[in-house]
Amino acid sequence: MSDQQIDEVALGSWLAANVEGFAGPFTLTKFASGQSNPTYRIRAASGDFVMRRKPFGQLLPSAHAVDREYRLLSALHPLGFPVPEPLALCSDPEVIGAIFYIMEMAKGRPYADGALPDFDPGTRQRMYEQLVETLADLHNIDPVAADLANFGRPGNYFERQVARWTRQYRDSETEYIPEMERLIAFLPETLPEQSRTSIVHGDYRIDNVVFDGDGTLTAVLDWELATLGDPLADFSYLAMQWTMPADGGAGLAGLDLEALGIPGLDEIVELYSTRSGVPVAAKLDWYFAYNLFRLAGIVQGIKKRVLDGTASHAQAAEMAKRVPMLAKAAWGFALKAGA
C-alpha cells in the first residue's frame, strides 16, 4: 500500500463505531507538516477531527509510537494543559494499514515563521511569553500524579538520549560525517547532572504550538518524542532557536528582536527559571550541542526514508541535505562547551 492509500470505507466504519458523535460523509486531507507521523484533517458532517498514524513501510523499532502520544494526551488533557482532546485510538494496523488515533481539531493554527509577521509587537511578546510559560507549566506537572510514572526510564536522561540518538543515527547512517563521530565521542563523556525529572515534549518550538487569531496559545502539538527526563532538554531546545538563523522558520538569530517585541534569550531564561523553579545553567553550550546532535539524528532518519522512498513530508528531500550543516553547528557549540 502506498503512502497515500487509505481505505476510507474501512476508516469511516471505524470512526462511526469508535468516535462519539461522529457522522459522515467525510473527506480526508493530509497536512503538509508532521513529517514523522503523517497527520490528516477529517472534515465530517459532524465536524472536524485530526488523525495521526504511523507511516507505512519499514520503521525503526522505537520510532513513531502514536500510541504513546495518545496516552500522553489522555493524561494531560484532564489536567487543563493545552492539548487537543484525544478521542479514540486504533491499535489494530489492519484497519488502514497502520495504527492511528483521532483527536479534536485545535482552535487556531501553528505559525512556522518565528518572526510572527502577522502580529504586532505587543502580541508577539505575549505569544512568546505564553510559549515559555506553557513549557514551564508542563515541567511543573508531577508525572506520578498524572499517572505517567512509567512513561520514561529512570536514570540520567541525557545519558539515555545520547545513546538513543547515536543508535538511531547509526541505524540510518548513509555517509561518514566527521563532526557526528566527534560528538558521539564527546557527549557521553561530558553529561550534565539532571535538574529534576519532568514530562518533556522533545520538539518544543513555536511551530509545534497553535495560537488563535488574537495570539492566545490554545494547544501544544506533535508529542511523538515526549518522555520523562530533564526539563532543560526541552528548554534548551526552545532557546536554541535564538541562535539559529532567521530563514522563515523558527530561528530568530539576526532579527531585531526588540523592534519586533520578541523577548531576548536572557529574558526567556529568566522567565522560564522563575516560573519552573529549574535554574538554567549559565552556559547553554553543551545543551545546544546535544540538541543539534539530536536534530541531526532525526533529520538523518528522514534522509534514510527519502532514499528508501517512504518519507512523507513534502520537503523531506530538502531537509535531508541539512544533516552535515547541523553536525557542524553542534560541534561548534561542543567546542564552546570545552571539547
Residue 2 pLDDT level (bands cut at 50, 70, 90): very low
**What is the C-alpha separation between 38 and 23, in angstroms, rounded?**
23
Query: Is the link from the previous residue into 25 a cis peptide, with omega within 30 of 0?
Result: yes
Query: What percent of the chain has a predicted confidence (pLDDT) above 90?
Result: 76
Among 172, 171, 164, 204, residue whose Cα is nearest residue 188 = 164
Q: Residue 294: its pLDDT value, please?
A: 92
Tell whether the model's pLDDT for residue 4 goes beyond 60. Answer: no
Tell whether the model's pLDDT for residue 312 goes beyond 90. Answer: no
Place of cell 513549557: 135
Tell whether the model's pLDDT for residue 60 goes beyond 70. Answer: no
C-alpha cell of 156?
540520567
Segments in the chain forming alpha helices (H): 8-18, 66-76, 121-139, 157-172, 178-189, 231-239, 257-260, 265-276, 285-308, 316-320, 323-336
- How much is the mean pLDDT over the chain? 91
Q: Residue 184: its pLDDT value, please?
A: 98
More confident residue, 213 or 321: 213
Among 152, 141, 151, residue whose Cα is nearest residue 77 = 141
Apex 158 CA angle, 210 and 72, nearest 5: 40
> Is the Cβ–Cβ distance between 133 and 82 less than 8 Å?
no
Whole-model pTM: value is 0.86
Residue 317 pLDDT level (bands cut at 50, 70, 90): confident
Place of cell 481505505: 7
The domains of the chain, with CATH numbers, are: 8-104 (3.30.200.20), 121-336 (3.90.1200.10)
pLDDT in tens, 69-95: 999 999 999 999 999 999 999 999 899
pLDDT in tens, 180-238: 999 999 999 999 988 899 999 999 999 999 999 999 999 999 998 899 999 999 999 99
pLDDT in tens, 93-104: 899 988 999 999
Sequence-distant (6+) residues with CB within 8 A of 291 are 233, 236, 237, 240, 330
pLDDT in tens, 109-160: 999 999 999 999 999 999 999 999 999 999 999 999 999 999 998 788 999 9
pLDDT in tens, 16-38: 999 999 999 999 999 876 556 88
Place of cell 487543563: 80
Place of cell 481539531: 105
